[in-house]
Amino acid sequence: MSELYELGVAEAGELLAKKEISSVELTKAVIDRYHAKNPEIGAYLTFDEEGALADAKAADEVRAACPESDYALLGVPVAIKDLINVKGQPCTCASKILRGYVSPYDATVIKNLKSHGVVCAGRVNMDEFAMGSSTENSGLGVTRNPYDTERVPGGSSGGSAAAVGGNLCIAALGTDTGGSIRQPASFCNCVGLKPSYGRVSRYGVTAFASSLDQVGPMTKSVKDAAILLQALAGKDPMDGTTPDECVPDYVAALEGASMKGVKLGLPKEYFDVKGIDPEVKRITEEAVKKCEAAGAELVEVSLPHTEYAMAVYYIVAPAEASANLARFDGVRYGHRSERSDSVFNLYARSRAEGFGPEVKRRIIMGTYVLSSGYYDAYYGRAQKVRTLIRRDFDEAFRKVDALLTPVAPTPAFRLGEVQDPLTMYLNDLFTIPSALSGNCAASVPAGFTADTKLPVGVQFIGGCYREATLLRICRAFELVRS
């Protein structure tokens, strides 16, 4: 048998059900792996080992008391991105401004996972407040790509991706505002699913851009993503953006998955792009061929407003961030400047000392585009263009079951290699439009670059609230990719 820490959710669940392993053994294996590897990879910021072992013990007791029940997640350790509140654990958003902050309550996603008996395995690193594409914007530590430690894991859910890809956990939660689940999943060889906007509650998840943020699973297989989404999805009275929409059986949807008859759209705007790495291009084209050979019908589609997506995102996301981050004022949470002699200085200095440069840049941009006289010209207009982008997707999904595209223009780059913010922003070229439209989308491992042996994923985009179809197609791809 492979090492216990290498297991995915489904495999671990089977061994737990058969009593071949206990949750305590599994959790200990993850903790040992954390001690062995985290100093090099830096996926985790903190790990409450005692708490995790206590939860594992409790899970084993539940199973012993009621062994016949069907538990998909009972006793499985899952790493949590450091902006999701877990009662009694730190929640810093990888920011100095929240250093020392301990969550007073569980986010709904955590409540949901705990009700399934998940063991919260530790807090994983990220770009500060989820702003970035490499985890280099973390105010609290460096995370390295487990496939090449000179390279970034992607971001902003880089700690989640490095923990899954480097087998420092069984699965992880990430968040995606413009690509932060999918791009790091591609860089670290994981499956990363961004659910449709509203599919998963954000109550207790520190807000970056509220009209875009989604929580989703980062896993070692498509089935694991389905198992986790099953526990995460659904209406939450604490988050008004979660509709009554029914939650289908995502795991059952994978049975008999096949590419036969699947209509796969290839948006032309995603394929003739300058600056795309030739290896990413090759791997994506090969993925398309494999899908076709397995029976998928390829359909060329057009999403004509794609070229405006970046500009729209960099108005909408900073605008919302500037409002959301106003609460970090040194009064109620985290860091408070000791050098203040007035209330104004308390706010200004606490924020100046606590926030890193990228967060400040976003707050300044956001405040600017919302300021009086500019609101209509920037934010109002961006919202109108956003509607056009959403309509492009609606139109495409009249003809196809899913879209296939690259995830990011390059494989993982070197730490420190991308200095210019604009170049960094361009990493999300292929993930931002579907974030703006609210569609579900996933990154699935597709292959490795020839020379550098770096993982590269492909993206499948699904219709809104069509996660079952999307996951089924991703599973079909998993079956044909090798």
Q: Which residues are catalytic?
A: 81, 156, 180
* Candidate residues 16, 21, 113, 130; the one interacting with ligand GLN per rule CB under 6 A: 130
Residues across the chain: 482
Instruction: Mark the segment that binds ligand GLN (CB under 6 A) among 105-113, 130-138, 380-388, 396-404.
Output: 130-138
| Beta bridge partner(s), residue 84 | 205
Q: Binding mask 133-152 vs ligand GLN (x if CB under 6 A, - otherwise)?
A: x-------------------
| Site stretch for ligand GLN (CB under 6 A), options 74-82, 177-185, 238-246, 304-312 | 177-185
CA gap 297, 307 in Å, rounded: 26
CB of 430 to ligand GLN, least distance (A): 12
31, 56, 98, 131: which one binds ligand GLN (CB under 6 A): 131
CA distance 341 to 26: 52
- Does 208 engage in binding with ligand GLN (CB under 6 A)? yes
Report the distance separating Cα 140 and Cα 121, nearest Å: 19
Choose, by CB under 6 A, the member of 179, 356, 457, 462 that binds ligand GLN.
Answer: 179
> In this complex, which beta carbon is closest to ligand GLN, that of residue 179 or of residue 217?
179
Structure tokens at 70: 């069907």
Task: Tell me which of 132, 184, 192, 366 binds ligand GLN, using CB under 6 A.
Answer: 132
**Contact call for residue 409 and ligand GLN (CB under 6 A):** no
Q: Which of 55, 224, 392, 428 binds ligand GLN (CB under 6 A)?
A: 428
Strand, helix or coil at 438?
A: coil
265 sits near ligand GLN (criterion: CB under 6 A):
no
Residue window 10-49: x/- pattern of binding to ligand GLN, with contact defined by CB under 6 A: ----------------------------------------
**Cβ atoms of residues 95 and 355 within 8 Å:** yes
Paired sense of beta strands 77-81 and 44-46, if any: unpaired
CB closer to ligand GLN, 185 vs 346: 185
Residue 173: CB atoms within 10 Å: 29
CB of 264 to ligand GLN, least distance (A): 25
Q: How far is the CB of 130 from ligand GLN (least distance, A)?
A: 4
Q: Segment near ligand GLN (CB under 6 A), from 170-178, 330-338, 381-389, 458-466? A: 170-178
Structure tokens at 91: 């929640």
φ, ψ of residue 137 in degrees (nearest 5) = -85, 5
DSSP secondary structure string for all residues of 42-96: --EEE--HHHHHHHHHHHHHHHHHSTTS--SSTT-EEEEETTB--TTSB--TT-G
Rounded Cα gap, residues 217 and 232, in angstroms: 9
Measured from the CB atom, the residue of 116 and 151 that comes closer to ligand GLN is 151
Annotate 107-162 with three-state secondary structure.
CHHHHHHHHCCCEEEEEECCCHHHCCCCCCCCCCCCCCECCECCECCCCCCHHHHH
3-class DSSP assignment, residue 176: strand
Contact pick of 146, 154, 178, 217 for ligand GLN (by CB under 6 A): 178
Give the number of other CB atoms < 10 A from CB of residue 244.
Answer: 6
- If we measure between CA atoms, which residue out of 299, 298, 297, 287 comes closest to residue 480? 287
Out of 176, 224, 236, 401, name the contact with ligand GLN by CB under 6 A: 176
Instruction: Return the residues of window 266-325 that contact ligand GLN according to CB under 6 A.
Output: 317
From candidates 138, 177, 284, 322, binder to ligand GLN by CB under 6 A: 177
Q: In angstroms, what is the minimal distance from the CB of 8 to ligand GLN?
A: 24
**Residues of the shown chain interacting with ligand GLN in the complex, contacts defined by CB under 6 A:** 130-133, 156, 176-180, 208, 317, 428
